[in-house]
């Protein structure tokens, strides 16, 4: 099922994101972990690339295995990194023939060790070009794009940033899925600025439960950044051990989800970091055992 169809038929979509490990054996383990979520009936699951497209082949194989061997709806990430147009077209053909209907189109981060994105000489420089290419060759594919409630890490001009987002939408994007955020006011402000710019596609909120200090530091160090509200940091600072730290982080994310639902958010996308504990805890707090119960 296309994500756009889920957004039309469900009051709120719930989805999970995973990143593929570096080896085929680890990917096999992740396959079973993701498959275990089937009883929750998520609207979809998405599989990312590694840094700089480093796990591209493993991602492709895992996506195809999920779509052919499980009942899960799958969104495949596709980036411009280190790929020519011919290579991207070959990937899209493979996905199309395997029954993949959903693509998350991204420019992608620079390969590890590089600080600046350099496009392939026969590839694309911007995600908008990738979106246009997908829609030209596969007009029926559902295409999602990324949004940045806290601002894109490479864009000092927030006005220009929204203009560039609208370009991606105008090229045929069906929905926006945001990067993670920890203050819902950032998300609501982002949605209002999109509305003012004439962006009217559904916007899905990206949520990541913090389950460890290591995870928190990692998110702050990544290029996407992360703005931690003082109130959250204060609560986390009182944590006496790792277990309590995780409880605080999961509680915070749960309150975010409750507030987003109260405000009629179109979808919640959980960044799981390949760990289900935080997401499952939130489901339990919501009082449901599967996402369709909230449709």
Just list the catalytic residues. 17
The count of other CB atoms within 10 Å of the CB of residue 2 is 18
For the chain, the three-class secondary structure string (H helix, E strand, C coil) is CCHHHHHHHCCCEEEEEECCCCCHHHHHHHHHHHHCCHHHCCCEEEECCCHHHCCHHHHHHHHHHHHHHCCCCEEEEEECCCCCHHHHHHHHHHHHHHCCCEEEEECCCCCCCCCCCCCCCCCCCCHHHHHHHHHHHCCCCEEEEEECCCCCCCCCCHHHHHHHHHHHHHCCCCEEEEEECCCHHHHHHHHHHHHHCCCCCCEEEEECCCCCHHHHHHHHHCCCCCCCCHHHHHHHHCCCCHHHHHHHHHHHHHHHHHHHHHCCCCEEEEECCCCCHHHHHHHHHHCCCCHHHHC
> What is the three-class DSSP state of 145?
strand
């Amino acid at each position: 099922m296309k994500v756009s169809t889920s957004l039309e038929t469900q009051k709120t979509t719930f989805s999970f994101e995973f990143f593929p490990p570096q080896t085929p054996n680890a990917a096999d383990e992740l396959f079973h972990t993701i498959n275990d979520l089937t009883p929750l009936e998520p609207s979809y699951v998405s599989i990312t690339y590694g840094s700089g497209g480093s796990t591209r082949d493993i991602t492709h194989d895992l996506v195809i295995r999920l779509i052919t061997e499980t009942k899960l709806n799958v969104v495949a990430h596709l980036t411009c990194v280190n790929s020519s147009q011919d290579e991207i077209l070959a990937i899209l053909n493979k996905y199309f023939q395997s029954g993949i209907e959903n693509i998350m189109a991204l420019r992608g981060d620079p390969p590890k060790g590089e600080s600046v994105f350099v496009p392939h000489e026969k590839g694309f420089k911007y995600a908008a070009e990738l979106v246009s290419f997908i829609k030209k060759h596969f007009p029926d594919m559902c295409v999602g794009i990324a949004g940045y409630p806290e601002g894109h890490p490479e864009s000092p001009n927030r006005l220009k940033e929204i203009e560039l987002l609208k370009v991606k939408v105008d090229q045929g994007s069906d929905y926006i899925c945001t990067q993670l955020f920890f203050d819902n006011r950032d998300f609501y402000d982002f949605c209002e600025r999109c509305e003012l710019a004439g962006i009217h596609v559904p916007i899905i909120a990206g949520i990541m439960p913090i389950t460890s200090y290591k995870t928190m530091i990692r998110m702050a160090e990544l290029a996407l950044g992360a703005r931690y509200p003082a109130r959250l940091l204060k609560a986390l600072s009182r944590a006496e051990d790792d277990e309590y730290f995780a409880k605080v982080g999961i509680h915070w994310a749960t309150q975010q989800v409750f507030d987003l639902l109260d405000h009629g958010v179109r979808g919640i996308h959980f960044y799981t970091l390949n760990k289900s504990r935080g997401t499952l805890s939130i489901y339990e707090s919501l009082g449901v055992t599967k996402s369709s119960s909230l449709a």
